[in-house]
């Protein structure tokens, strides 16, 4: 956490980014640069390493190159969840919505909240993230082709050439998915051989889930405790209550990534049968009258806590009888 610094708010998009440089007296200067190396260099000329802190939204991939460049020239960087910035602006009843104003709001957030600093992922983590995104897209395409092939079976006229083409597309995608996933496994084992084995030792967690957990957690270095990991993944419970009259149902807070949530949910089906702690937790909740879905989400939480434990203790899972 950094205090008594000059905060620089950056609202970034695909082609350009707006900058609001906020000094200690609360005065700001505004600039606009192109989102490329030339723009990065022009921004750096306005900054002072050691005194300026650049705050930006972690918006997709657009912020990564700029954040990495600033980090390389010793400029402090904070990458903040977009929803956090949005809520911050709403609290201040800010109605104006322009890139220039957004940059000022981000700078104000930095000065008010003094958030923690950002550090770039290792190169192999970035490579794994790209491959994971690519695999997800190929899986979506494969599913679409399979559904189309099944739908065409109900047509009274069969187009042989089309059916053959569809099957070729499906086979090609499956081959490419297997190729990329094998490469991902090699990369993970190269850098986290023991951790990969430790996660796989937990009943219910498979190879793909273990690999993705390592990717999103940076080898379990990004989180101080299991609660932070659960929150990041997006399966922390959210309580909806107000006073004595509003008693809403507790729900999971879906602020994490849908892909890992879906994979962990599937893992919970196996864990509630083969993982003793998960089995006992699931049945205890069912006996209390909780829904099966809620019980499975609780199992997912338990799996993440087990994963965090074996990773941070550097040991394999040992089931206590």
3-state secondary structure 192-249: HHHHHHHHHCCCCCCHHHHHHHHHHHCCCCCCCCHHHHHHHHCCCEECCEECCCEECC
pLDDT for residue 190:
93
The torsion angles phi and psi of 120, rounded to 5 degrees, stand at -70, 150
pLDDT for residue 134:
92
pLDDT for residue 272:
94
pLDDT for residue 248:
43
What ranges in 51-122 are assigned the alpha helix state H? 64-72, 82-91, 99-113
CA 28 to chain centre: 32
The torsion angles phi and psi of 72, rounded to 5 degrees, stand at -70, -25
pLDDT for residue 271:
94
Within a 13 Å sphere around the CA of 209, how many CA atoms are in the beta-carbon half? 26
Reading the chain (321 residues) residue by residue, the pLDDT tens digits are 444 578 999 999 999 999 999 766 667 789 999 999 999 999 999 998 888 999 999 877 889 999 999 999 999 999 998 888 888 888 877 666 788 889 999 999 998 998 889 988 888 988 998 998 899 899 999 999 999 999 998 888 888 899 999 999 999 999 999 999 999 999 999 999 999 999 999 999 999 999 999 988 888 988 889 988 888 887 654 433 434 443 444 444 444 467 888 899 999 999 999 999 999 999 999 999 999 999 999 999 999 999 999 999 999 998 665
Question: Mutual orientation of helices 292-313 and 160-200 as an angle, nearest 10°?
Answer: 60
The CA-based angle 94-96-99, given to 5 degrees, is 115
Do the Cβ atoms of 215 and 263 come closer than 8 Å?
no
Q: Who contacts 172 (Cβ-Cβ below 8 Å, separation ≥6)?
A: none
pLDDT for residue 244:
43
The torsion angles phi and psi of 312, rounded to 5 degrees, stand at -80, -25
Q: How many Å apart are CA 266 and CA 152, to the nearest integer?
A: 29
What ranges in the chain are assigned the alpha helix state H? 37-44, 64-72, 82-91, 99-113, 123-152, 160-200, 207-217, 226-233, 258-274, 276-287, 292-313
pLDDT for residue 316:
94
Stated pTM of the model = 0.74
Domains of the chain: 6-113 (3.30.420.40), 135-212 (no CATH), 214-313 (no CATH)
Collapsing DSSP states into helix, strand and coil, what is residue 27?
coil
Widest Cα–Cα separation across the chain = 76
């Amino acid at each position: 956490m950094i205090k008594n610094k000059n905060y620089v708010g950056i609202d970034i998009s695909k082609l350009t980014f707006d900058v609001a440089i906020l000094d200690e007296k609360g005065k700001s200067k505004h600039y606009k640069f192109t989102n490329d190396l030339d723009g990065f260099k022009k921004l750096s000329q306005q900054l002072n390493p050691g005194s300026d802190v650049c705050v930006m939204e972690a918006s997709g991939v657009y912020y990564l190159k700029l954040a990495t460049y600033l980090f390389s020239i010793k400029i402090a960087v904070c990458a903040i969840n977009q929803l956090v910035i949005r809520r911050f602006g709403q609290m201040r009843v800010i109605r104006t919505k322009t890139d220039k104003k957004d940059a000022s709001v981000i700078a104000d957030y930095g000065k008010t909240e003094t958030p923690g600093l950002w550090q770039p992922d290792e190169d192999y983590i970035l490579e794994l993230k790209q491959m994971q995104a690519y695999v997800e897209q190929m899986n979506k395409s494969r599913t679409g082709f399979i559904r189309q092939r099944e739908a065409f079976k109900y047509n009274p006229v069969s187009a042989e050439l089309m059916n053959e083409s569809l099957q070729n597309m499906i086979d090609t995608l499956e081959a490419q998915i297997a190729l990329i996933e094998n490469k991902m496994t090699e990369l993970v084992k190269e850098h986290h051989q023991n951790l990969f084995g430790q996660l796989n030792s937990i009943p219910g967690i498979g190879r793909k889930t273990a690999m993705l957990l390592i990717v999103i957690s940076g080898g379990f270095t990004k989180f101080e405790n299991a609660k932070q990991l659960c929150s990041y993944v997006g399966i922390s419970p959210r309580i909806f209550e107000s006073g004595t009259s509003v008693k809403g149902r507790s729900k999971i807070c879906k602020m994490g990534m849908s892909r890992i949530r879906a994979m962990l949910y599937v893992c919970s089906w196996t864990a509630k049968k083969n993982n003793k702690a998960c089995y006992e937790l699931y049945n205890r909740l069912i006996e209390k009258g909780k829904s099966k879905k809620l019980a499975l989400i609780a199992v997912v939480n338990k799996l993440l806590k087990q994963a965090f434990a074996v990773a941070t203790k550097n040991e394999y899972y040992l089931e206590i009888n």
